[in-house]
Amino acid sequence: MVVSSSNNYYKSNPDVIKISSSNKLNLKRFTQNGQIQIYQSSYRGSYSSIIRDSLRNAALGRKVLLVQFMKGGVKQGLANSVKLCGKLTWVRSSHSFDQYPSKEIENNKNLKKSIHESIGELWNFCKNELLSGENDQIILDEIFLAIKMKIIDKDDLISTLENRFISGDVILTGTDIPKDLLLMANQITELRS
């Protein structure tokens, strides 16, 4: 929320509006961050409506980034992102937990490390995108599970969201959402079965 007083704001921010002697206004462009929306559910895989909405937004001309941290597949990862509707970039992890049986991951330290590194690479990409201001909407699917598993640092996510530069919305999905992230949200939606 932006709160300002019309009488005092221009005095404390002289670069925003300058009035010259010829009564012309020189306006500095001002961009406001969009909303933080959280979609929570008690089970995984309940976010198909968000993916549907991201496709619709892209078809309407908005630049959308959809990142699925905990899902992957053959030839996935940053190098193989999928482009849809000309405006939607869909990225999945190159190695993910849903590609292997859980016992195999726990018994193979190299595989577990590879999965963690792949998710970390996606997060670093997302941080750059959140700070760049080039997208109209960014969806971080199952990011809270990556935080719970200590792959992504919660404080790093909070700091990045506080410093983001995106005029559209940031949508976060997952289960077990930390309270301090809930407090940052402009909208919280609980999906039920």
pLDDT tens per residue, range 97-151? 778 888 888 888 998 898 899 999 999 999 999 988 889 999 999 999 899 989 9
Of 130, 165, 163, 184, the closest CA to residue 31 belongs to 165
Q: What is the pLDDT of residue 5?
A: 30
**What pTM did the predictor assign?**
0.77
Of 165, 159, 183, 156, the closest CA to residue 38 belongs to 183
Cβ-proximal residues to 127 (8 Å cutoff; 6+ apart), any chain: 156, 160
Asked if residue 77 is part of any domain, the answer here is: yes
Give pLDDT < 50 ranges for the chain: 1-22, 24-25, 27-30
Asked if residue 144 is part of any domain, the answer here is: yes
Q: Give me the CATH number covering residue 66.
A: 3.40.50.300
Asked if residue 51 is part of any domain, the answer here is: yes
Question: What span, in angstroms and rounded, lies between the C-alpha atoms of 8 and 27?
Answer: 17
Q: What is the pLDDT of residue 87?
A: 92
Measured torsion, CA atoms of residues 147, 152, 157, 160, in degrees rounded to the nearest 10: -170
Asked if residue 160 is part of any domain, the answer here is: yes
Distance of CA 165 to the CA centre of its chain: 11
Q: What is the pLDDT of residue 85?
A: 82
Asked if residue 15 is part of any domain, the answer here is: no
Q: What is the pLDDT of residue 8?
A: 37
Asked if residue 5 is part of any domain, the answer here is: no
Q: Which residue segment(s) compose the domain that 147 sits in? A: 33-191
Cβ-proximal residues to 63 (8 Å cutoff; 6+ apart), any chain: 87, 134, 135, 136, 137
- C-alpha triplet 170, 6, 17: angle, nearest 5°: 80
Asked if residue 112 is part of any domain, the answer here is: yes
Number of domains in the chain: 1
Question: What span, in angstroms and rounded, lies between the C-alpha atoms of 54 and 75?
Answer: 22
